[in-house]
């Protein structure tokens, strides 16, 4: 009789613990948008999204730049020259970012740099961040000004995934065309696993 009570009490305790645990999320994500006015009706926008997936120990990011007009977002004019900077980092100085990216989004992932249809890109690695520089020669549709990628935040000392640290993806773009030369404020998305 005592054994049955102990078994029932143990089962009840386990059930209570299981129900008290918060449900684990599949991913944590965040977004940010900044803009700078071109004139009374148009502005340049910079969008950044970050998403960390615990099951993969990876964080994903994507950025998009566009003109925002009264009729909605559009790409940039054909005489555009633009330079975008994307910085991936952690809130912990001891975390390394092992990153890959596509510029523009959808082309094969890069580790160092490339030229895809006059969209030149280069990645620079430091001890605790990664910087991706993307230069656009010529305008085009919205898709041309999108960059995406992923990073595996890693603790230097252990080589293990840095799942306890925040992941930050930040970006800004300088756009030059037809008498316009403007740089957006930096947009930063911050999240964790």
Residue 145 has which token pair?
Answer: 């000004």
Round to whole Å and give the CA distance between 13 and 10. Answer: 5
Full domain range(s) for residue 79: 27-191
Residue 151 lies in a domain: yes
Residue 4 lies in a domain: no
Backbone angles phi, psi at 34, to 5 degrees: -130, 160
Query: Number of folded domains in the chain?
Result: 1
Q: Per residue in 89-114, pLDDT tens? A: 999 999 999 999 999 999 999 989 99
Q: Per residue in 146-166, pLDDT tens? A: 999 999 999 999 999 999 999
Residue 14 lies in a domain: no
* Beta strands per DSSP E along 79-145: 81-90, 95-102, 113-115, 119-125, 129-137
Q: Per residue in 64-98, pLDDT tens? A: 999 999 999 999 999 999 999 999 999 999 999 99
Round to whole Å and give the CA distance between 166 and 92. Answer: 7
Residue 172 lies in a domain: yes
Q: What is the CATH number of the domain that holds 70?
A: 2.60.40
Q: Enter the pTM of the model.
A: 0.85
Residue 15 — pLDDT band, cuts 50, 70, 90? very low
């Amino acid at each position: 009789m005592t054994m049955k009570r102990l078994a029932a009490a143990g089962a009840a305790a386990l059930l209570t613990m299981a129900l008290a645990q918060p449900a684990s999320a599949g991913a944590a994500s965040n977004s940010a948008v900044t803009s700078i006015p071109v004139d009374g009706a148009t502005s340049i926008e910079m969008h950044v999204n970050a998403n960390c997936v615990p099951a993969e120990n990876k964080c994903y990011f994507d950025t998009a730049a566009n003109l925002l007009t009264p009729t909605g977002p559009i790409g940039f004019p054909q005489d555009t020259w633009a330079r975008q900077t994307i910085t991936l980092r952690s809130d912990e100085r001891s975390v390394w970012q092992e990153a890959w990216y596509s510029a523009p989004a959808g082309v094969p992932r890069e580790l160092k740099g490339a030229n895809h249809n006059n969209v030149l890109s280069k990645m620079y690695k430091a001890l605790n961040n990664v910087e991706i520089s993307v230069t656009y020669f010529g305008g085009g549709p919205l898709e041309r000004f999108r960059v995406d990628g992923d990073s595996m935040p890693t603790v230097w000392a252990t080589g293990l995934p840095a799942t306890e640290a925040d992941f930050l993806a930040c970006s800004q773009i300088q756009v030059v065309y037809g008498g316009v030369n403007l740089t957006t404020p930096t947009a930063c998305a911050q999240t964790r696993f």
